[in-house]
Amino acid sequence: MYKQKREAATEPPKLPFENKLLIDSILNNDIDGVVKSLNDYRAAPHSKSEAGNSAMELAQ
């Protein structure tokens, strides 16, 4: 049982599609792709994080 938990912990986390696009653009030195990814997939200023705080709340 311990071995199964340990193996599961070593798997890389699954990234959302938007993150994969951004990472691929960065690794390929695709400046236009990076800018497009950041513009297309950015969160609104009032979207909540997992902790329940928005970017605007944290900035205050």
pLDDT tens track for 14-42: 778 888 888 899 999 999 998 888 888 77
Q: Is the pLDDT of residue 48 over 80?
A: no
**Residue 7: predicted pLDDT:** 57
Burial 9-37 (b: 16+ CB within 10 A, else e): eeeeeeeeeeeebbeebeeeeeeeebeeb
Helix pair 17-27, 31-41: axis angle to 10 deg: 160
**Residue 2: predicted pLDDT:** 56
